[in-house]
Amino acid sequence: MELYENSYANQKNITVHKENCDENELYAKINLRAMNHAMRDLKANTYKMWCYFAQNQNSYSFWLSPIDVHNSTGISRSSYHRALTELIEKFYIIEDSKNHYIFYESPQDERKTDNKE
């Protein structure tokens, strides 16, 4: 394979141009290891929902709405339910009390769910 300026012919040189960031246009702080794991581990729409959760600050709480998820990600209501189920089954989301769930960027050991009553 032919080498082009420190790369191979099948590679493309990409320069990232980011949008402005201020108090109205924010960037999300996401753990890159967790993000890359989720990209490999989750189905496409589930990964979109993972991003929807991961864009929030640590310990931020909100009422989850299928309509807001759709408006943010474009996934349908049925995809929303499948994605939520996958996140729960793979331990990215764990119910800690009645109707209260915790999202984790990385899947949690299922033993953490054993303390539920």
Give the span between the Cα atoms of 26 and 23, in whole angstroms.
6
Give the span between the Cα atoms of 19 and 23, in whole angstroms.
13
Q: How much of the chain exceeds pLDDT 90, in percent?
A: 64
Residue ranges in the chain whose pLDDT is less than 50 = 115-117
Instruction: State the chain's mean pLDDT as an integer.
Output: 88
In this predicted structure, what is the pLDDT of residue 8?
77
pTM over 0.85: no
